[in-house]
Structure 1
Amino acid sequence: MKHTGKALCAMLLLSFLALPPACASPPASSSVTYRITEEELTALEQTLTAASKENEEQKQTSEKLRMQLEILQLQSKEREDTLQRAREYWQKYEREKRREIRRLKQERNASWLIVAGLVGYMAAKR
């Protein structure tokens, strides 16, 4: 048994020595180095500049649209308030009209009662 453990350790040591050096050394870095030409770098810089300008324009447009949205929301709120007031005035007007119609009906009915009473009185006098 003693020899088996020693033999196993020796084989394990030999297997580590058989590995390529890249496997034994710790990984240096996960980044990769690329080479680009000056034209490619210039094209990338131009693309980045154009994207930055477009981004800034979109931010400005977004801000303008946000301001317009706020203005439209305020206008909408004002219109809703105006419409609500108009509804309230209309309901008040309808109540007053119903009251007036009821009053006129009562006056008409009272007038007819007076006329009927007078006609009855005159008929009774004859």
Structure 2
Amino acid sequence: MSSPLETISKNATVQDAAKRMRDEEISALVVTTDPPSIVTSTDVLTVAADGRNAGDVPVTDVMTESVETVPPDIYLEEVAAMLTTFGIKHLPVTNNDDEYVGMVSSTDVTAQLS
């Protein structure tokens, strides 16, 4: 799990998200919406591939809404199953008070299981 969790506003631009991911050396950010959303490096890549100006595209246009979250004490095998079942690469981690405490990724799972 990566901690602390990096977040971004839904009103930020995709360029802002890309810079934050580059600077923090991560590939996803939780978007501070209710329910939680996420923007990933794949979303940024799609904007670039479509020839759109990342500085003009708000995160809200490309984010995935209503993402699944997991508790910090979940078994790694359960995380792996969720990632596979949902076809995703990242899961925000929340505590009992629904506060974000980190992010678990497919890279984390692979590193722990290898």
- Shorter-normalised TM-score: what interval? under 0.3
TM-score, structure 2 as length reference: 0.14
TM-score w.r.t. the length of structure 1 is 0.13
Larger helix fraction of residues: 1
Structure that is richer in strand per residue = 2
